[in-house]
Amino acid sequence: MDLIHETHVSEPGLLVVDVTAADDAIALAFQQLLAVRWATAAAGQTTRDAGQPGVRLRCYLNLRQQLAAAAVVDPTMEPTTGRP
């Protein structure tokens, strides 16, 4: 992964999160859990390092901007109409 740039942690509440997981689905699911709660600059994909197990991704969080869980929609969810 690239080095962390100073601006990404220049103020209280800013975080850089490096994730290593067994596969893409787990890494992206973890990132989604973070994005439901806080403003997150999300990675669109994971990376693989030759000779290393699993996948990696980096995302940037701003803990100063807490989101309402109802305001965040999982892009993999089907739209609902309110009818069973």
pLDDT tens per residue, range 37-75: 888 888 888 999 899 899 999 988 888 876 665 444 454
The mean of the pLDDT values for the chain is 77
For residue 7 the two structure tokens come to: 């601006």
Q: Is the pLDDT of residue 21 over 90?
A: yes
What are the extents of the domains in the chain? 11-68
